[in-house]
Amino acid sequence: MKILANDGISQTGIRDLEAEGFEVNTSTVAQDQLVNYINENEIVGLLVRSATQVRKDIIDNCPSLKLIGRGGVGMDNIDVAYAKEKGLHVINTPAASSESVAELVFAHLFGGVRFLYDANRNMPLDGDSKFKQLKKAYAGGSELRGKTLGVIGFGRIGQATAKIALGIGMKVIYSDPYIEKASIGVNFYDGQLVSFDFNSISKAELLQNADFISLHVPAQKDYIIGENEFNIMKEGAGIVNAARGGVIDEVALVDALETGKVSFAGLDVFESEPNPEIKILMHPQISLTPHIGAATGEAQDRIGSELASQIISLLK
């Protein structure tokens, strides 16, 4: 049986699938050629990440297809309900990349409170001639320890983010209409485990009390954070979005940065991805990464292994 990993898969995943007799193809087929390619090669399993769209045209016109797999959490690029209605298996890997995304959130947070996003732009330009001026400009940083992190969306990634926050001495609050209560265990290197219990609060209460905000929600029809939400945030709050583009109103974000309502933002995803707005890319108070939340070697190995395990279970 043939599997097309159109957006790639780790060598671990390939090895596990080939050991069970699957043929794995990692060619990247253009979106408009996918139907023909799947049919000509009798592909039974199509694996994607965020780049490839799996819509009704593929589902309806590829009779050999039995399974669609998403290497990651969100499946907004797949017509999941329609695929299941047509009898296809639809799988994803919700737990495999949680820690990687959470660590990227804190890369943005640590960089934000110490101005690394801006210092790394200006030091190569002026570090030799304006060292003292830059030192003064970036001398007013703050610590994360003792501050409050507000997590909007408390699924696996939100909880993984909370664990890091707790580990460095932050207070954590969260808002999630679907998870009223949560208990988190923070594991340490020596086997110790410390448990914390949480209750969801309203989004408004979170925004009013959080020093830093991290978003962990799926794609939405409307903004989660827009002008009204920025208005009720604490003065000088920081915000990170490593979830989905379009959950923050980027025009309102720029306004909030300009007025000082928000001190900095960290963005891994963008409203107009894969062509982020120049105003966002050039803004001196925004830390930027190109949608790399799950892009660690460890996460990709876990994703590959988890996909392979599910495929073997469902198709063998």
- Indicate which CATH number applies to the domain containing 173: 3.40.50.720
**pLDDT score for 197:** 97
Query: Which residues of the chain have a pLDDT value below 50?
Result: none
**pLDDT score for 124:** 97
Catalytic residue among 108, 291, 302, 306: 291
Residue 217 per-residue DSSP state? -
**pLDDT score for 78:** 95
Catalytic residue among 103, 205, 273, 277: 273
**pLDDT score for 170:** 98
Of the candidates 10, 69, 72, 65, which has an alpha carbon nearest to the alpha carbon of residue 34? Answer: 65
Q: Are residues 54 and 196 both part of a single domain? A: no
Question: Is 273 labeled as catalytic in the residue annotation?
Answer: yes
Question: Is 283 labeled as catalytic in the residue annotation?
Answer: no
pTM above 0.85, yes or no: yes
Token pair in block for residue 240: 């990170």
Q: Are residues 226 and 304 both part of a single domain? A: no
Spatial separation of the C-alpha atoms in residues 8 and 26, rounded to whole Å: 6
Q: Are residues 89 and 229 both part of a single domain? A: no
Catalytic residue among 244, 250, 283, 306: 244
Q: Are residues 167 and 88 both part of a single domain? A: no
Domain hosting residue 228, numbered range: 98-288
Q: Are residues 123 and 223 both part of a single domain? A: yes
Question: Is 244 labeled as catalytic in the residue annotation?
Answer: yes
Task: Give the 3-state secondary structure of residue 192.
Answer: coil
Q: Are residues 209 and 266 both part of a single domain? A: yes
Domain count within the chain:
2
Spatial separation of the C-alpha atoms in residues 35 and 6, rounded to whole Å: 12
**pLDDT score for 95:** 83
The size of the chain, in residues, is: 316
Pure H helices in 181-271? 203-209, 227-232, 250-259
Report whether 27 contacts 315 (CB < 8 A).
Answer: no
**pLDDT score for 248:** 98
pLDDT digits (tens, 9 = 90+) for 53-69: 999 999 999 999 999 99
Q: Are residues 79 and 169 both part of a single domain? A: no
Report whether 195 contacts 123 (CB < 8 A).
Answer: no
**pLDDT score for 164:** 98
**pLDDT score for 260:** 96
pLDDT digits (tens, 9 = 90+) for 88-109: 999 999 889 999 999 999 999 9
